Amino acid sequence: MQLPLSLTLLLLAVPALSSSGDRAPAFQSCLQHCTSTTCSPHNPARTALPLALRLTLWSCGDNCAYECMHALESLPQGSEKAKPQQYYGKWAFYRLLGAQEPLSVLASLANGQQHLRGLSFIRRQLAGFHGPVSLGLKSSLEWYTYVGMNAWLWSSVFHTRDTPWTERLDYFSAALALLYSLYYTLQRLFHLYLPSNTRWRHALAGTLALVFSAHVSYLTWLPRYIPSLPRFDYAYNMLFAVSVGLLHNALWLLARYTPLLPPPRPRPSYKPLAFVCLTMAAMSLELLDFPPLLGVLDAHALWHIATVPLVMFWYGWLVEDVRDLEEAARAGSGGGRVKL
């Protein structure tokens, strides 16, 4: 789930291959009956799926699973279904225009729109700054928004239709956002944006690009050649996200509250700590994992909704930080220039 995205996407959900609902005999019986009749090419009463379902790539079998899932969930308590169940790792959501988790789709689009708004904000606020600091960091901040918009776009696609390829695009876009957040942080805190540090900046970008390539390779094609590797290592994927996110958090807090990183450091402000605490609180909503209220609002949707206002909060801080650096470089210290 950029920086808000990078921090809120740390707890990438680990999907289950099967759940109690889809393993239930009643569900399997319903699914078998539906697919053998409704989906049979020999059924003269067979009709095409509605346009919205065809556009979102629902098959007849997928639709049967959806119908059977809700048929079981609508049973009264004490019958064959005693409590809400998960099916194929997910709760029973009501779809809207083919979208499996409509509220999560809308929340993902809202987060993406905030990154688009952040792009306009960055360009407007830094328009009059043309020194080496702002020139180096402004471009990086703009790319920050592009990576964030890309990640939330694929999040919305994934929540529209959960398929192997939409899952991969969501996870890999999230990993890219995490690594870019780390790239920007290292570039800013170690002053690699300066022309004199171009070589180090390129080395950092190349190193993180290799890390991303290795990450994607391990999760995609390497298991084909190394049978001992899992088909898709969800536990590793989550560990990777958590590790990168925690490193990013630690760097900003070290820069703000300790003298360990090189000056000039971020000016005194509550915002870095507040942002870390707020995003961790938003992330914790994912741990609630309750059946969706009214069939649409679950913990995952709440998590994405909670991150929407944090996007501009963080962009506001990042822009303030760039302006502070540029103004300090202009003013100098004791009649001279600030050494960056």
Residues with Cβ within 8 Å of 134's Cβ and at least 6 positions away in sequence, in order, are 126, 322, 323, 325, 326
Q: Bin 89: left if φ > 0, else alpha if -120 < ψ < 50, else beta.
A: left
Q: Are 278 and 310 in contact (CB under 8 A)?
A: yes
Burial class (CB in 10 A: 0-12, 13-18, 19+), 291: middle
Q: Which residues of 87-119 are buried (b: 16+ CB within 10 A; e: fewer)?
A: beebbbbbbbebbbbbbbbbbbbbbbebbeebb
Concatenate the DSSP letters of all residues of 266-299 into one string: PPS-SHHHHHHHHHHHHHHGGGT--PPBTTTB-H
pLDDT of residue 9: 42
Q: Are 177 and 169 in contact (CB under 8 A)?
A: no
Phi and psi at residue 148, to the nearest 5°: -65, -45
pLDDT of residue 336: 33
- Torsion angle in degrees (nearest 10) through CA of 218, 244, 137, 144: 70
Residue 199: alpha-carbon gap to chain centroid: 30
Three-state SS letters, 175-219:
HHHHHHHHHHHHHHHCCCCCHHHHHHHHHHHHHHHHHHHHHHHHH
Q: Are 321 and 126 in contact (CB under 8 A)?
A: no
Domains (range + CATH), the chain: 20-73 (no CATH), 100-331 (1.20.1070)
For residue 7, give the nearest of 111, 90, 102 by alpha carbon: 111
Burial class (CB in 10 A: 0-12, 13-18, 19+), 234: middle
pLDDT of residue 220: 87
3-class secondary-structure state, position 69: helix
Cα–Cα distance for residue pair 10/147, rounded to 1 Å: 16
The separation between the first and the last C-alpha atoms of the chain, rounded to the nearest angstrom, is 33
Q: Which helix (H) or strand (E) holds 131?
A: none
> Residue-wise pLDDT tens for the chain (340 aa)?
344 444 444 444 344 455 677 778 888 888 888 888 888 777 766 778 889 999 998 988 889 889 888 888 887 765 555 678 888 878 888 999 999 999 999 999 999 999 999 999 999 998 877 777 767 888 899 999 999 999 999 999 999 998 889 999 999 999 999 999 999 999 999 999 888 898 999 999 999 999 999 999 988 877 787 777 777 788 888 899 989 988 998 999 888 888 888 888 888 888 888 888 888 888 888 777 788 888 888 888 898 999 999 999 999 999 999 988 887 777 764 333 333 3
Cα–Cα distance for residue pair 73/189, rounded to 1 Å: 52
